[in-house]
Structure 1
Amino acid sequence: MALVLHSAANKNAYKALIAAEYSGVKVELVKNFEMGVSNKTPEFIKMNPIGKIPVLETPDGPIFESNAIARYVARSNPDGTLYGSSLIEYAHIEQWIDFSASEIDVSLGNWLYPRLGYRVYLPPAEEAAITSLKRALGALNTHLASNTYLVGHGVTLADIVMVCNLAYGFKTILTKSFTSEFPHVERYIWTLINQPNFKKIWGDFTQAESIPPVASKKPAQPKESAKPKKEEPKKEVKKEEVKPKEVVEEEEAPKPKAKNPLDLLPPSKMILDEWKRLYSNTKTNFREVAIKGFWDMYDSEGYSLWFCDYKYNDENTVSFVTLNKVSGFLQRMDLARKYAFGKMLIIGAEAPYKVKGLWLFRGTEIPQFVLDECYDMELYEWKKVDINDEAQKERVNQMIEDAEPFEGEALLDAKCFK
């Protein structure tokens, strides 16, 4: 018998589904589940007397509570790695699962649900919830400053539970202006939510642009006053239903036609794809062929070069964590692939490692949409290259060709964005 998950598609169900992807366990999400109907049937109540979701149907009986279900799925494969490889890792995984439930999830709910009308909205209670959430995110941010994952060197059940809880907050109420205070938490969630097993379940993921307004209870009053007149409310309802459809069509129609501002710039003599091909195809005499070709192509009116230096190099004490930071940055820069080329150098024979980069952007400034959408940009200091300065120009050459030693130090690694 396959494991059957009775639930609507939500973050609590996603915990088990993502755990199943990592564990290689087959879990089927029931089709056509209707909240308020499916979970009220006698069959469902037998599985969970409270009628809450999710419920996992197993050969040995049902299980309810999302974290318990996720634990069961994670342990269903005895060779799985979601519970670590030692007793202390197991304890730390359980620690972060509990932290996610009691500190993150509870505080998020106390802030969000009153605004959605599920609870009474009280400003002092909201302030307390936000304070608690910031304290929890601050602790998480400190831990993630030197750790890519919550426990060990790979994804565990702790990460799955934590990311699902955080992701729900990011989608509903945690705006960029709020989360920017916790850059390591941002890096963590964007790195994991884009991993194949997470993305398969969550799909395309975007962060909330605004905090939901406090739900108003006033709309219920007109319905009562309209009861004596049966015909008029029908006419009003029809009008209200038609208008939103027209607005949606008007808002959605222009989207495919929207152009990136960089596409509206005057044509440049530099063809970025030609440079990327030259860079990729040059295997010998790199400086004579690729570097010379770059400067022959370069158009200072259509493109600009920028040096970047990571602001927190003293935190780069673990090599693989530092490499993952850079990889995550390049992954999140994918939105600029059509308009940019970059080289990122991880420098040093021992910790702390330095991270420095060189970026070529379309336009004479760093594109605004990159600054707005890629939070990593704030983690670096940016300086425009003066191509009339021979020293800066030579530094560009060395970064493009991965010269070693670079500025007197060994290269741990070099990564290219193209």
Structure 2
Amino acid sequence: MVIFSRNKNPSQHSLYCLLLSHSFASLVLSRKNAPPHRSQVRAKRFSAKAMALVLHAGKTNKNAFKTLIVAEYTGVKVELAPDFEMGVTNKTPEYLKLNPIGKVPLLVTPDGPIFESNAIARYVARLKADNPLIGSSLIDYAHIEQWIDFGSLEIDANIISWFRPRFGSAVYLPPAEEAAISALKRALGALNTHLASNTYLVGHFVTLADIIVTCNLLIGFTKLMTKSFTSEFPHVERYFWTLVNQPNFKKVLGDVKQTESVPPVPSAKKPSQPKETKSKAKEEPKKEAKKEPAKPKAEAAEEVEEAPKPKPKNPLDLLPPSGMVLDDWKRLYSNTKTNFREVAIKGFWDMYDPEGYSLWFCEYKYNDENTVSFVTLNKVGGFLQRMDLARKYAFGKMLVIGSEPPFKVKGLWLFRGQEIPPFVMEECYDMELYNWTKVDLSDENQKERVNQMIEDQEPFEGEVLLDAKCFK
């Protein structure tokens, strides 16, 4: 190092040189120990484009879609692990070393594994410096995080609570489904209000929040939420269809189509016993049967296989014969198209046998939870399906009442015998969800109520009928 100084005093000049050398050494040392400059961080981030990140998940996993869409926007290469099989791959010891609880998706990076889908999507987004997906200001960043949490806690959680029982992966409980749908509608209402004046969730471009919320909505639109459901939220509809048709979304999602119906509740069927095959018997070589001395008739009779016992008769079949033929009434009800009061209702009372049959009013116990029209209708439809075991012994009318929620569900049932059949109470769990009251035919008001329910009279008890269903 060369030092120029105008000072002619040698001693002062030497001191000046010593101080300057010390300062320079300190500067070099401080630069050596300083954290990497932002440009170095950028270089490291951009180098991720060249390295392969491996995402362990199925090809239809909507949580994996979050990362794959982010990768398209960011320009980062993310590969799906080949031959991944849900429920098998994620239970292997090798996988559990990367994620001890076996959750999916899982991203393997050069610096170690990452699980939780939102964390993975954040990581991939941040591999690119100044990525617009994560916002350009502190408030943008906070709002993006806000909508990510909203999408996970208010939308995804409630859609999954609705989805799992409908697809047989959880026990179906009507009150639980009602609560999930009610909470989902509240969330979609809030989202709809925000989107009324915003194209995207944050700012004027797609962000990480849009990607995650759209993926959270995906199962809802494609599996559960019909057009009649989503039409209540027009701005959410516009938002969802705009995003899934963006090129980077479409590369991952393909063509997205809205479901046309809500899947029915799976019936709880007992697993059938596998039939014994005769293949083994055929494969085994036949052995010569040893001749045994004839046994006494009494002893031989004991070895004869017991004949199959006839199935026990339904207790209702053992009741004294009734003058009312249920099929005749059902036929009259179905075939009467005009003058219903004069023909069908009069015919019913002419046929009715109060000794052999009984009439019952029912009312749903949780009408205050009937806040979604089509869910209420599906609930009633499911009840009638599960009543199929009583078709030989019953006739029923179920009314869904009201023009606005909460909707009321009330019914009228004709049962063989003087009580509700015990086997129906035991095998159809819906029965416990209703209050049951036996009709007092000495009360003319109750008798008229029976007429109105059979006839689907509207208005019924001062309210419009949303729907009327018949079990016959």
Once the 2 structures are TM-superposed, how far is the Cα of residue 52 of structure 1 from its aligned partner?
A: 1.4
Alignment of 1:103-142 (within 5 A): 103-142=154-193
SS at match of 2:97: helix
SS at match of 2:132: coil
CA distance in 2, matches of 1:61, 1:231: 55
Once the 2 structures are TM-superposed, how far is the Cα of residue 215 of structure 1 from its aligned partner?
A: 1.7
Alignment of 1:243-254 (within 5 A): none
CA distance in 2, matches of 1:6, 1:109: 21
Instruction: Summarize deviations over 1:365-409 as a string: whole Å, max 9, x none.
Output: xxxxxxxxxxxxxxxxxxxxxxxxxxxxxxxxxxxxxxxxxxxxx
Question: What is the aligned-residue RMSD (CA, Å)?
Answer: 1.2
The match for 1:207 is 258
8 Å Cα contact 1:117/1:216 also seen in 2: no
The match for 2:316 is none
Amino acid at match of 2:99: N
Once the 2 structures are TM-superposed, how far is the Cα of residue 221 of structure 1 from its aligned partner?
A: 2.5
SS at match of 1:17: helix
The match for 1:100 is 151
Alignment of 1:13-412 (within 5 A): 13-218=64-269, 220-222=270-272, 224=273, 226-227=274-275, 229-230=276-277
SS at match of 1:73: helix
CA distance in 1, matches of 2:188, 2:231: 11
2:59 pairs with 1:12: no
Instruction: Summarize deviations over 1:352-373 as a string: whole Å, max 9, x none.
Output: xxxxxxxxxxxxxxxxxxxxxx
Amino acid at match of 1:160: I
CA distance in 2, matches of 1:175, 1:204: 17
The match for 1:333 is none
8 Å Cα contact 2:155/2:184 also seen in 1: yes
Once the 2 structures are TM-superposed, how far is the Cα of residue 216 of structure 1 from its aligned partner?
A: 2.3
8 Å Cα contact 2:63/2:105 also seen in 1: yes
Once the 2 structures are TM-superposed, how far is the Cα of residue 231 of structure 1 from its aligned partner?
A: 5.2
The size of the alignment, in residue pairs, is 228
Amino acid at match of 2:251: K
CA distance in 1, matches of 2:278, 2:78: 50
CA distance in 2, matches of 1:108, 1:114: 11
SS at match of 1:221: coil
Once the 2 structures are TM-superposed, how far is the Cα of residue 31 of structure 1 from its aligned partner?
A: 1.8
Instruction: Summarize deviations over 1:183-221 as a string: whole Å, max 9, x none.
Output: 000000000000000000000110011101112231x42
CA distance in 1, matches of 2:64, 2:198: 27
Amino acid at match of 1:57: V
Amino acid at match of 1:14: F
SS at match of 2:203: coil
Where structure 1 has 5 or more consecutive residues not aligned to the other structure, the ranges are 233-418
SS at match of 1:28: strand
SS at match of 2:58: coil
CA distance in 1, matches of 2:160, 2:148: 16
CA distance in 2, matches of 1:111, 1:41: 30
Instruction: Summarize deviations over 1:279-305 as a string: whole Å, max 9, x none.
Output: xxxxxxxxxxxxxxxxxxxxxxxxxxx
8 Å Cα contact 2:58/2:86 also seen in 1: yes
Once the 2 structures are TM-superposed, how far is the Cα of residue 158 of structure 1 from its aligned partner?
A: 0.1
Structure number with the bigger relative contact order (C-alpha 8 A, sep ≥ 6) is: 1
SS at match of 1:63: strand
Amino acid at match of 1:169: G
CA distance in 2, matches of 1:13, 1:214: 27
Once the 2 structures are TM-superposed, how far is the Cα of residue 79 of structure 1 from its aligned partner?
A: 2.9
8 Å Cα contact 1:171/1:207 also seen in 2: yes
- Higher alpha-carbon Rg: 2
Identical residues among aligned pairs (%): 70
The match for 1:401 is none
CA distance in 2, matches of 1:164, 1:69: 14
CA distance in 1, matches of 2:190, 2:278: 58
CA distance in 2, matches of 1:29, 1:231: 45
CA distance in 2, matches of 1:221, 1:72: 45
Amino acid at match of 1:230: T
Once the 2 structures are TM-superposed, how far is the Cα of residue 33 of structure 1 from its aligned partner?
A: 0.9
SS at match of 2:101: coil
CA distance in 2, matches of 1:193, 1:171: 12
8 Å Cα contact 1:15/1:161 also seen in 2: yes
TM-score (norm: length of structure 1): 0.53
Instruction: Summarize deviations over 1:87-137 as a string: whole Å, max 9, x none.
Output: 000000000000000000001011111111111110011110110000000
Once the 2 structures are TM-superposed, how far is the Cα of residue 42 of structure 1 from its aligned partner?
A: 1.5
SS at match of 2:271: helix
CA distance in 1, matches of 2:159, 2:234: 18
SS at match of 1:20: helix
CA distance in 2, matches of 1:150, 1:168: 20
Once the 2 structures are TM-superposed, how far is the Cα of residue 2 of structure 1 from its aligned partner?
A: 1.3
Once the 2 structures are TM-superposed, how far is the Cα of residue 56 of structure 1 from its aligned partner?
A: 0.2
TM-score (norm: length of structure 2): 0.47
8 Å Cα contact 2:130/2:136 also seen in 1: no
8 Å Cα contact 2:70/2:208 also seen in 1: yes
The match for 1:2 is 52
8 Å Cα contact 1:7/1:55 also seen in 2: yes
Once the 2 structures are TM-superposed, how far is the Cα of residue 167 of structure 1 from its aligned partner?
A: 1.4
CA distance in 2, matches of 1:114, 1:77: 40
